[in-house]
């Protein structure tokens, strides 16, 4: 999958691209079932909200075959290598949940802000690419973006260790308001299987999910191999230390798993 000149221009201007239905409903359903299996595991990589429901599962590509394949899927890898102009490695892999009624907030932040401060990643030559495993709507805690905020570079942030179970370098209200006055605020929504890619400098957040509908999104955080992290302050399963370039699999790499799931259901 290669981005068009128009898409590249839009990414440069807005800091993100959204592709509704890039993965099939069958592929999304297979991955959603695998996500539920991962959340049921008793592993240190699976972080939970204060009430015990899953918040995120780190490094699922290390212990789940479906997510291993997704982590090398050409629909995920090719657009990022195109934008970053070279091979990439997996800096971080997350399967994020927003449980119905109980999914907590992700505060306003820039991902590169954390990667720079905690991991000493030299430059923002990294980004996220994500797949919706549920329909994401205005009701169930969608991502919120401030378009164009990636043009501001690294923004001052404070280390929030208390709001949620996951520590984050977050922006204060005044800065978020200032950026939003300039760029507005959007919430990309769409069906399961939709794909989203965004700059590591884009300011984003997500609200709590108090709806009766859960939502799960898988994030691959990919970094140019020359831009790998220099500090190992966080666990390896949070900030990976294998800088080997990812070799993309074939576009049908999930078909076998989808077929097995369908046969088991018959």
DSSP 11: H
Residue 257 in tokens: 């798993």
Per-residue model confidence (pLDDT) at position 49: 80
How far is it, in rounded angstroms, from Cα 36 to Cα 41? 9
How far is it, in rounded angstroms, from Cα 219 to Cα 136? 14
CATH for 16-265, options being 2.60.120.620, 2.30.30.90, 3.40.640.10, 1.10.10.60:
2.60.120.620
How far is it, in rounded angstroms, from Cα 170 to Cα 147? 17
How far is it, in rounded angstroms, from Cα 91 to Cα 59? 10
| Domain edges within the chain | 16-265
Element (H, E) at 16: strand 16-19
Please, how many CA atoms are within 13 Å of residue 153, restricted to the half-sphere of its CB?
Answer: 1
pTM above threshold 0.85: yes
How far is it, in rounded angstroms, from Cα 209 to Cα 102? 6
What's the burial of 227, exposed, middle or buried (CB within 10 Å: 0-12/13-18/19+)? buried
End-to-end alpha-carbon separation of the chain, Å?
33
How far is it, in rounded angstroms, from Cα 53 to Cα 117? 29
Residues 197-247: tens digit of each pLDDT:
999 999 999 999 999 999 999 999 999 999 999 999 999 999 999 999 999
Per-residue model confidence (pLDDT) at position 5: 96
Beta bridge partners of 17: 197
Per-residue model confidence (pLDDT) at position 105: 81
Per-residue model confidence (pLDDT) at position 162: 58
Per-residue model confidence (pLDDT) at position 44: 94
Question: Strands 144-145 and 168-170, how do they pair?
Answer: unpaired
Per-residue model confidence (pLDDT) at position 107: 86
pLDDT lower than 70: segments of the chain: 159-167
What's the gap between Cα 258 and its chain centre? Answer: 22
């Amino acid at each position: 999958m290669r981005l068009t000149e128009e898409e590249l221009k839009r990414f440069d201007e807005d800091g993100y691209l959204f592709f509704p239905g890039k993965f099939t409903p069958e592929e999304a359903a297979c991955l959603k079932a695998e996500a539920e299996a991962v959340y049921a595991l008793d592993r240190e990589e699976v972080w939970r909200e204060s009430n015990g429901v899953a918040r995120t599962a780190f490094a699922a590509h290390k212990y789940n075959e479906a997510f291993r394949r997704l982590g090398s899927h050409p629909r995920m890898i090719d657009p990022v290598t195109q934008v970053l102009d070279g091979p990439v490695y997996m800096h971080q892999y997350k399967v994020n949940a927003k449980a119905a009624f109980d999914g907590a907030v992700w505060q306003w932040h820039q991902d590169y802000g954390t990667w720079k401060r905690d991991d000493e990643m030299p430059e923002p030559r990294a980004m996220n690419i994500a797949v919706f495993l549920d329909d994401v709507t205005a009701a169930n805690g969608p991502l919120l973006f401030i378009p164009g905020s990636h043009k501001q570079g690294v923004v001052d942030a404070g280390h929030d260790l208390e709001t949620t179970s996951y520590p984050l370098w977050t922006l204060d209200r005044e800065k978020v308001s200032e950026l939003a006055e300039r760029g507005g605020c959007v919430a990309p929504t769409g069906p399961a299987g939709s794909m989203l890619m965004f700059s590591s400098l884009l300011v984003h957040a997500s609200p709590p999910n108090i709806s009766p509908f859960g939502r799960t999104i898988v994030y691959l955080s990919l970094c140019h191999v020359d831009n790998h992290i220099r500090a190992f302050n966080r666990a390896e399963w949070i900030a990976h230390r294998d800088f080997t370039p990812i070799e993309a699999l074939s576009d049908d790499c999930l078909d076998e798993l989808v077929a097995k799931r369908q046969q088991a259901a018959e």
